[in-house]
Structure 1
Amino acid sequence: MTLPGTAEEALALLEPHAEPGKAEEMLAYHKVPRRYLGVANPVINDMTTEWRRALTLEQRLSLAEALWDTDVHEGRLAAAKLLTQARIRPDAAVWALICRWVPDFDGWAVADHACIAGQKRIMADLTRLDEVEGWTVSDHMWSRRAALVITLPLAKLNHPDAAQAAARERVLGWAAGYVADREWFIQKAVGWWLRDLSKHDADRVRAFLADHGAQMKGFARKEASKYLA
């Protein structure tokens, strides 16, 4: 197995897996002007899994930072995947790097991969919600959206403890503040969060919709209600 030491080496390992015409398809689909290699997500998963196992945390942090800064689509996905791990100790530098990426979010695909890495760090330390709360009032729409995407695991808990239940309510408060936001991606994120919560606490979602559903766009309300009887 060849391990990359630099972002350029990592991209060189990914590039041979590019599929003809896929880079152009990805640009047309994502509509975010940056370089696309045309490498499928499962390939990036497999390669970054190997790198994550073999590299030290310090090496992964350095490589992830460099890959993100290339602004290559697959490079940014790989950067996020290098840091997607439930148990990382110490993890303060990982959390700080993910937070540094948030203002760069400009599309759902890259943002969601970075947020999945961030979800692990949130669940490892719920006090990080204090920093995430600042994103909810950002002028940057993708930062506001990230506050909900990065906290999705809280919606999926069957038996939250007291701290997790309080954190869940805190995020629902943010969601309530978002219902008047007309941005499609914000409305989608609210619906998504409520939809996932409805599988574990349907009554809480019904109460939210009773209080705020009239302000939500129809598609978001429908999304939130998808699994309600």
Structure 2
Amino acid sequence: MKKEWTIAGIVEKFEANRDEVQAEQMAAYMKGHFTFIGIRSPLRKTLIREQFLTFALPKPEQLFKEVAKLYTLPEREYQYAAIALIEKMKKQLTVEDYDQLLQLIEAKSWWDTIDAIAPHFVGHIVKQDRPYGEKVMLEWSQSNNMWTNRSAILHQLKFKKETDVDLLFRIIQQHVDSKEFFIQKAIGWALREYAKTDAAIVKQFVEDTPLKPLSRREALKHIG
């Protein structure tokens, strides 16, 4: 029988594998925005897998309380563990969880967490109620928080044929003048990904829209 869930199991496993040399290298890669324990991705995934094998998952109503505990810990690996926990319980997410996900998007924000949360979790609940999801994403697109804007741009990244193209283009058009690197990059990424489904419409949109050079280059990278 599995033990009752506690993040203490993760903390114990991570601390037992602390590597100060790797921690410095990982912090440097992330431009010094975060401190690290020094656990590379393959080992981290193994340790988290062991956590799931040993401990029963928290109850759905406790999910974000446990996620919050991990997010309060200083090292970045704990935020990755929180995202892994949400992924494990992804089927439990509902449209009631937009606010919870938004809090994570706007906490300790950087591309590594946003690019997991937006396509995998936000996109998942948008599909549950597309009209309501569109309303929320348009609100996020108008946020003063750049990472919330990026999340709105990227939430359909994995939708393929289920992409609401009008919504995708509408959100992108709201940010074509942005000077933010991470917004320009997100626009190009979203368009490049949808081009795998419909290259012609993406090419036409790029031709008709005054995108920044970075966005345009990224969007057309595999189209020519």
> Is the TM-score greater than 0.5?
yes
1:43-89 deviation per Cα after TM superposition (whole angstroms, max 9, x unaligned)? 33333345457314435433212101224211111111111158624
Contact 1:148/1:175 (<8 A) preserved: yes
Residue 137 (structure 1) aligned with residue 132 (structure 2)? no
Q: 1:90 to 1:176 in 2, by over 3 A?
A: closer
Return the match for 2:171 from 170, 174, 190. 174
After TM superposition, the structure 1 stretch with the greater mean CA deviation from structure 2, 39-48 or 132-141, is 39-48
Q: RMSD of the alignment, in Å?
A: 2.7
Contact 2:102/2:148 (<8 A) preserved: no
1:100-119 deviation per Cα after TM superposition (whole angstroms, max 9, x unaligned)? 21222531112223323333
Residue 98 (structure 1) aligned with residue 101 (structure 2)? yes
SS where residue 135 of structure 2 aligns?
helix
Q: How does 1:34-73 map to 2 (within 5 A)?
A: 34-52=34-52, 54-58=56-60, 59-73=62-76
Residue 75 (structure 1) aligned with residue 78 (structure 2)? yes
Shift of 1:133: 1.9
Aligned equivalents of 2:123 and 2:74: distance in 1?
A: 22
Contact 2:27/2:33 (<8 A) preserved: yes
**TM-score, normalising length from structure 2?**
0.84
Shift of 1:32: 4.4
Q: For residue 190 of structure 1, what is the aligned residue in structure 2? A: 187
Q: For residue 123 of structure 1, what is the aligned residue in structure 2? A: 127
Percentage of matched positions with identical amino acids? 24
Unaligned 5+ runs, structure 2: none
Shift of 1:219: 2.5
Shift of 1:94: 4.6
Please tell me the residue identity of whatever aligns with 2:183. I
SS where residue 88 of structure 1 aligns?
helix
Contact 2:195/2:202 (<8 A) preserved: yes
Unaligned 5+ runs, structure 1: none
Q: For residue 219 of structure 1, what is the aligned residue in structure 2? A: 214
Shift of 1:4: 7.6
**TM-score, normalising length from structure 1?**
0.82
Q: 1:80 to 1:109 in 2, by over 3 A?
A: same
Q: 1:142 to 1:89 in 2, by over 3 A?
A: closer
Residue 206 (structure 1) aligned with residue 203 (structure 2)? yes
Please tell me the residue identity of whatever aligns with 2:21. G
Q: For residue 22 of structure 2, what is the aligned residue in structure 1? A: 22
Shift of 1:34: 3.2
Q: For residue 12 of structure 1, what is the aligned residue in structure 2? A: 12
Residue 150 (structure 1) aligned with residue 155 (structure 2)? yes
Aligned equivalents of 2:38 and 2:29: distance in 1?
A: 12
Matched pairs, number: 219
Aligned equivalents of 1:136 and 1:128: distance in 2?
A: 12
Aligned equivalents of 2:9 and 2:190: distance in 1?
A: 38
